[in-house]
Amino acid sequence: MSDEAATAVEIWTDGGCKPNPGPGGWAAILRFNGHERELTGGDAATTNNRMELTAAAAALEALKRPCQVVLHTDSEYVRNGISRWVNGWVRNGWKTAAKEPVANYELWQRLLAAAKPHAVEWRWVRGHAGNPMNERADQLATAARDAAAKTRLPGST
């Protein structure tokens, strides 16, 4: 672990749906100075991208003071959105380059607000590739998704 990582809050996030769209779950694992905290949640009707965004936002919102953060995500959508696309979206009034409304803009706004007090390094990790913390986040998100699926009424969409 680098010196920077040793002084930073390390966060691993994951989110997903099955089917997509459908019941979804998200999870975040926060680690700092030998302490760990797990956060999870779900939605009976959502998308993979919404769950990925929710995981990152909820993790950052859980921090009680400004922090150095290394946030690990297996979502290229989240990583590219926050590090490459969002400034253009904001400049264009939350419109894409094609002048269409940005999908999930309210969650992007939530994520920006949650990240603002912190110095966040966004790290992409390959999903389902044996990274123990990513695998654990995936297991937690899957359990949250399964719990959300059980809250659906039979025959509902």
Q: Which residues are catalytic?
A: 14-15, 52, 74, 128, 138
Cβ distance 13 to 70 under 8 Å? no
d(CA 151, CA 42): 10
Tokens representing residue 60 in the block: 């950052």
Strand locations in 18-146 (E):
22-32, 35-46, 68-73, 119-124
